[in-house]
Structure 1
Amino acid sequence: MTASPILRDNVGIHHQPPDIMQEFHHQRARALLKNAELIFDQHDVQTAVTRMADVLNTRYNADGCEEFPLVLGVMGGAVVFTGSLLPQLSFPLEFDYIHVSRYGDDDKGGEVVWKVIPRSNVAGRTVIVLDDILDEGETLAHVKQRLLDMGAAEVILAVFADKAIGKSKPVQADIVGLTIPNRFVVGFGMDAYGYWRNLPGLWAISPEDLKQN
């Protein structure tokens, strides 16, 4: 049996045969969890989401409240959190999503590029931004200011995980699900190298395993 060739595309990048690459990613992902520590289990996570929903429902179901907020999920890390939270919200709302990327280190103020902007009009409206994690805070601060510049009357930041980094941040979340330690965490939408967004709980990856990958 002859070996499968390595393919080269038109920009000179080598591609391993799919079976080899699948095995590589499978083993790499498993290695990341080998020494990982479970810091919040599935029950903790879902309880936190329900608590966040209760805060929002209390405000927007209050007597006399006729607001029609725009809820924006930040792709792609917040997709799992957003999918868990939205069905628990019991007030009228409009949903959309945004996608931003930061080129350069987050704590050094790399350029923020908007890949997807809100399709809905934000002017004069309350905008609720759903994000998976508040880390250094530079990107989320930019998102909030951009929405205010677009005319939003109010921007509420609802962040599932607020990382305790031991220093001040340029923006604070209005609603927080869980406060997590200053460690690299995966699960519930958060990933390492694209792996383990699908975990139902939150796992802290060991620094040694993170470096080896």
Structure 2
Amino acid sequence: MTDEQLLGPEETVRIREGIAAAVLGASDGLADSLEHDAAGYLRLVDASRVGAEEAGRILREAVQGARAAGHSWDTVGRILGVSRQAAQQRFGDKAKGAVPSGAAAGGPDGPERRVLSPLSAFNEMAALTAAGLEGWHLVGYGSFFHEVEASDHPWEHCRVTLAAGGRNRRMEAEGWIPVGAGWFPWRYYKRPLPPAEES
């Protein structure tokens, strides 16, 4: 383990075993087919390709998350075992991997949209809370920004870790609406707030 690696050997083994298990478990019977079916190895290549693409996406989002948390390119590069310049060249494109919002609903006459920026992992939820109370709801996001759309009622927003599968399903049953597929390590949700009771 180098001075800059933050995980211990047991944690590294656990991650490697988890990725291998996910790849081998991606297709029913894939692991068993490798004993007798040459085509199983092609399915293994395809499952490994998907796993590598997902690992690359997670790494890009983790780097952008570290940057959003205030870490320098020099620090990120040392963790990755590359120079500051190499880390910035590979991961510095802020738009890469952002959750696209698409055109405003209904075209040019659709609801107004605005970008909340610059944001970090530490202030994004406060910014979304304030925007939500003013009638804005989340429609897109990426490193250092959230895009919100105007509506005629207030919204609430929350984020949970992507690993919270059971919790995510419960939230959706409670009326929370997922926004995009997530931005590692977070999944974002929104839901309209009930109208305030008039006194």
TM-score (norm 1): 0.26
Compare the two structures and name the one with the higher helix fraction. Answer: 2
Q: Larger radius of gyration, structure 1 or 2? A: 2
TM-score (norm 2): 0.27
Compare the two structures and name the one with the higher strand fraction. Answer: 1
